[in-house]
Amino acid sequence: MTTLLVLISVIASLIASAILLDDYVLEREHRAVQNKIKNVARMVAKDTRVIDKVEGSPSDATIQNYANKVMNATGVSFVVVLDNELTRKSHPDESVIGGTFSNIEDASRSLNGTEHYSRHIGILGEGTRFFTPIWNDEGEQIGIVCVGYVQQTINDELWNARKNLYVGLGVGLLVGIIGALYLARYLKKVLLGLEPKQIVAHMKEKEIIIDSVSEAIIAVSPKRKVLLQNVNFNKLLNKTEVATKAISNGYLNDTLFSLIFDDVFKTEKPIANRVTVINHYEFIVNVQLIYIDKSIYGVVATLYDQSELQHLIRELSGTEQYIDSLRAQNHKFMNQLHTILGLIELEKYEDVHHFVRVLNHNYHREMGFVTDKIKSSAIAGFLLGKTSELDEQGVTLIIDEDSYFPAIKIGDMLHDLLLSMGILIDNAKEAVLNNSKKQVTLFLKYDEAEEVIMFEVQDTGSGIEKHVLPKIFERGYSTKGENRGYGLDAIQSIVKQYHGLVDVQAKTGRGSTFRIEFPFKWRNKNDESNDR
C-alpha cells in the first residue's frame, strides 16, 4: 500500500507538471510565432526593394523574388506585399499575384497606418498573420505587408516543441518511479520498527488533543517535556507575563508543571473546570490523561481565560435585569389601565380625572427629582425604571438628595456601571422583601476633585453574618439557593477591570451598605454642554 501511494504521488506530480509545462510551451510557442512574423513583416516593409516597387507593375518580379528569399530564410509560410489598392505584389502562389487580397476587410484595417494580428482562412488555408504598413521616404503609406504561418506549419512547430518536453517527462517519470520504489521500501523498513498499537496510540493522542482544544493547549510528558503547544498557549502566557521563562529547552518549568499537572500525576484522575491562578490571573483548567499500552504517556491541558466567562455572566445578568424591569413596568402600567377602564365602566368620570391627575403628578415628581439630580439620560432612565420596578413589588427606592451625576460620556463603562447598580439594587430589594420596612437607598455622584465615580446602595434588610461576609464575592456562593452567587462575582470582576474599589459594611439585623468607586478622568468641565 505504501509503494502504491508513493507511486501515485510521483505519477500525479509528473502529470500535473506535464500539464503546466505543456500549457507553458504552447503559450511560449504562440508568442514566438507572433514575434517572428511581426519582425519579418516589419523587416520586409522597410526594405528599399519593396518600397521602390510596391507602387509599380505587378508583373515586376523584384518584390516576388525578394519575398521568396525571405520565406526560405525565415521559414514563414507566406510573405504577401500589397499596395494601397490591396493588390498582391507577391504571394507563394504566383498565379494570384496581381489579384486583390482575399480578405479585404481584414487587410483594410492597416490602411490607416496601424498594425494588427489576425487569424483567418485564406488561399493557403487557416493561418495566423500580421499586417504592417509600408511607408515611403516622405512618410506616406504606400502599401501593406502581410506575413504569417499556415496552421499546419504552426502545429508542426508545436509538436517539435512538445516532443522534447514529453521525452524529458518520460525520462523523469522513469527516474521518479525508480526513486519512488526505493523510497517506499525504505519507509516500509522504518515503519516495521513500530508496533501497530503504538501507531494507533499516537493517533489517539492527536485526537484527544484536538478534541480538548478550546483556547490554549499544552501537552507534556511525566518528565515535563513539552509534547505539544499551540499559539494560543503562548498568547495566554504573554498575558500573565511568564511566557519567556515558561518553557526552556523544550521542558516546562517546575512552577507551572506543579501548578497545572501535579495533582493529575498523583491521583491519575483527570481535572475538569478547576480555577487556577497564574501570576494573579485566573484560568479555568481541564486536564486529560494520555494512555499508551495502559500506562500514562503524558497529559494534555486546556486553559480558558476566566474573564471571558465573567463577561458572559455580566451580559446575562444585565439582560435579566432589563427583562425584570420591563416586566414590572408593564405590570404596573396594565394595573393602571385596568383601574381607569373600571372607573370608566362605572361612569366615575370625576374619579378618572382625579386618578389620572395623581398619576401625572407622581410621574412628574419622580421624573423631575431624578432628572434634576442625574443629568445622564441613560442613567436617569435606568433609575426611573428601577423605581417603578421596586414600587410594583412594594419596595421603595430612594435616591439620596446629595446625589449628582453630570451629563458626561463614559463610553463602555456606562454598561458596567448600570449593571453594577442593577445587581446591588436587586440584591438589596431581595434583602428587604421580608422586612416590615422595605426601603433601598441609592447614592450616586461623580467627584470632580477626586476624579472618581462613586455610588452606594443601602438596604434595611437583616444584614450579613460575619462568617458569610468573606465569601460573598466568590463565584457560585449564595445563601439564597442553587444557581445563584454570580452577581457579586461579576461586580468584583468589573471593579478589577477599572481598577476600582468595593467596600461592604453590614451588621446582622441592621442592613447592608455596598460602596463602589470607579476612577474616571473627565476631560474638562466645559464638556458637559457638549455631552448632553
Indicate the residue type of 310: Q
For residues 238 and 95, the model is more confident at 95
In this structure, of 49-63, 288-302, 329-343, 387-401, the range with the lowest mean pLDDT score is 329-343
Crossing angle (nearest 10°) for helices 306-345 and 377-392: 60
pLDDT-based confidence at residue 145 (cuts at 50, 70, 90): very high
Using the structure block, give the residue that is written with the C-alpha cell 491519575.
Answer: 268
pLDDT of residue 161: 64
3-state secondary structure at position 512: strand
Is 213's pLDDT higher than 60? no
Per-residue pLDDT tens for 377-411?
778 778 877 887 788 788 888 888 888 888 887 77
Q: How far apart are CA 455 and CA 442, in angstroms?
A: 7
Question: Regarding the domain with residue range 199-305, which homologous superfamily does it belong to in the CATH classification?
Answer: PAS domain (3.30.450.20)
Q: How far apart are CA 486 and CA 148, in angstroms?
A: 85
Instruction: Give the CATH fold of the 365-525 domain.
Output: Heat Shock Protein 90 (3.30.565)
Per-residue pLDDT tens for 408-438?
877 778 888 888 888 888 888 888 888 888 8
Q: Are 277 and 260 in contact (CB under 8 A)?
A: no
Per-residue pLDDT tens for 110-119?
999 899 998 7
Whether the domain at 1-159 and the domain at 199-305 fall into the same CATH topology: yes
Say how many C-beta atoms besides its own lie within 10 A of residue 92's C-beta. Answer: 17
| Residues 40, 161, 29, 65, Cα dihedral to 10° | 20
Is 4's pLDDT higher than 90? no
In this structure, of 117-126, 205-214, 339-348, 372-381, the range with the lowest mean pLDDT score is 205-214
Q: What are phi and psi of 246, to 5 degrees?
A: -75, -40
Distances (CA, A) of 420 to 265, 286, 446, 487, 514: 42, 30, 16, 8, 11
For residues 71 and 410, the model is more confident at 71
Average pLDDT over residues 443-450: 87
Q: Are 300 and 212 in contact (CB under 8 A)?
A: yes
Q: How far apart are CA 490 and CA 250, in angstroms?
A: 38
Q: Are 106 and 120 in contact (CB under 8 A)?
A: yes
pLDDT-based confidence at residue 531 (cuts at 50, 70, 90): very low
Per-residue pLDDT tens for 349-362?
777 777 677 665 55
Average pLDDT over residues 523-530: 49
Instruction: Give the CATH fold of the 1-159 domain.
Output: Beta-Lactamase (3.30.450)
The domain segmentation of the chain, as residue ranges, is 1-159, 199-305, 365-525
Q: Are 435 and 462 in contact (CB under 8 A)?
A: yes
pTM above 0.75, yes or no: no
